Amino acid sequence: MKDWIIKGNFLESESPDRFHIVENGFLPVTDGLCRGLFSVVPVQYQGLPVTDYGDRLILPGMTDLHVHAPQFAFRGLGMDMELLDWLNHYTFPEESKYGDLSYARKAYKDFVACLLHSTTTRAAIFATIHSAATLELMEQLERSGLQTLVGKVNMDRNCPEVVREPDVTTALQNTEQWICEARSRFARTKPILTPRFIPTCSDALMHGLKDLQRRYQLPVQSHLSENYGEISWVRKLSPTASCYGGAYDRFGLLGGDHACIMAHCVHSTDEELELLQRNGVYIAHSPESNMNLASGVAPISRYLELGLSVGLASDVAGGSHLSLLQAMMHAIQVSKLRWQLLDSNVRPLTLEQAFYLATAGGGAFFGKVGRFAEGYAFDAVVLDDSSLSHPQHLDLRSRLERLVYLSDDRHIVAKYVAGIKLFG
């Protein structure tokens, strides 16, 4: 990892509501860390080699806080059901195929290639219950240079036998073996505990996972308050819990002493939100998925006002697109429909807010990630919008807005993760 200076047009989030834009700026990078954005190279960095991206846009790498790698194969398919039917009809049959390592190898290759060529530099990823296939996914991710958290999924009830772990003891043994192997083999690719969601995890399994969480100091990811049918089911399964979030909390698996991501939180009650805030849980907002599965729209601008930790997520294959630029667009769009159709007290998301979610908001789950400020990991993507011709001059904020609505993989010309260049 060498030291150098990146030159170009930088955009980052100063706060959820404000861009920090430096046109024709300089970003010194030493030891893989950002040293801040400057209009002129500071004396102590003069002499470092300069990589000049000219008129291109340089953005912080983006964090996908929730994505299902095995579902990538059927993204854009079966978009005609709500969550619980969709799981039984499409998702579980597809995930069962990952018991076959050669299928997994092939399917995960497509996923990793697409993730690599996106603006995503960090991701929290669900695999399946299969340890071998999950390690294969981690191996491929490790080679890609991306920085990820990957979870072997746990589920031992209320699901077809083909995706159900045979019993709690086996589930926990397999999970522990997978944790140990992953920790010994990978540097950039780390295990995260992944009970799928309350309906598919017995109390005994959850207690066992809490033990593993403590023993190995692992983060946790799961699903929360996505869909009305799911929420009523959880109410029946966990009648003593005060809310859906409480059903995780009673096992100590909702943050607090560990880092935790809960996907969706579309229909979280005030009590649940308070619990999430108290426990420092990250909310993975998955706007396209919540639209495709007709789940609803989470009131994200309200969550930001409350000071909750929120990031953005593709949630493939509930979402059909891995691109977080597209997720930004979807986040803005669905927030407008929520405002118009449901509740005009919750303001639509701004471009600034959506960008914050995709960069600094979700990045914070990985530490100092998602900005170019001093000490942040150097995660960056370089975008070339010259093919999006425009008859006149556009400022940088406008150029970013157009990329959010109009860009695809062709516009991503370089990518750096944790100080290492992946391509470009």
Q: Pick one of 23, 110, 167, 271: the residue that binds a second copy (CB under 8 A).
A: 110
17 binds a second copy (CB under 8 A): no
Q: Pick one of 53, 248, 251, 339: the residue that binds a second copy (CB under 8 A).
A: 339
Token reading at 304: 């930001």
89 binds a second copy (CB under 8 A): no
- Beta pairing class for 412-417 and 420-423: antiparallel
Non-local (6+) Cβ contacts of 367 within 8 A are 377
56 binds a second copy (CB under 8 A): no
16 binds a second copy (CB under 8 A): no
Nearest residue to 248 via CA among 310, 168, 308, 194 = 194
Q: Indicate the residue among 38 and 74 with the shorter CB distance to a second copy.
A: 74
- CA separation for the pair 402, 406 (Å, rounded): 6
Q: Pick one of 40, 43, 187, 341: the residue that binds a second copy (CB under 8 A).
A: 341
User: Cis omega (within 30 of 0) on the bond before 317?
Assistant: yes
Q: Indicate the residue among 105 and 164 with the shorter CB distance to a second copy.
A: 105
Residue type at position 18: R
Nearest residue to 48 via CA among 62, 65, 64, 30 = 30
- CA separation for the pair 424, 415 (Å, rounded): 7
Residue 146 CB, shortest distance to a second copy, in Å, is 20
Q: Indicate the residue among 215 and 390 with the shorter CB distance to a second copy.
A: 390
CB 148 within 8 A of CB 141: yes
Task: From 25-33, 52-60, 244-252, 336-344, give the range in contact with a second copy by CB under 8 A.
Answer: 336-344
Task: From 155-163, 195-203, 239-247, 384-392, give the range in contact with a second copy by CB under 8 A.
Answer: 384-392
Helix (H, G, I), strand (E, B) or coil at 23: strand
Q: Pick one of 163, 198, 283, 332: the residue that binds a second copy (CB under 8 A).
A: 332
Number of residues that bind a second copy (CB under 8 A): 49
334 binds a second copy (CB under 8 A): yes
Helix (H, G, I), strand (E, B) or coil at 283: strand
Token reading at 361: 């908001």
Q: Pick one of 71, 118, 268, 333: the residue that binds a second copy (CB under 8 A).
A: 333
Q: Pick one of 6, 57, 150, 297: the residue that binds a second copy (CB under 8 A).
A: 297
Query: Cα angle at 315 between 309 and 318, to 5 degrees?
Result: 135
Residues forming contacts to a second copy in the complex (CB under 8 A) are 73-80, 97, 103, 106-107, 110, 288, 291-297, 320-321, 329, 332-334, 336-342, 348, 350-351, 389-392, 394, 398, 401-402, 404-406, 408
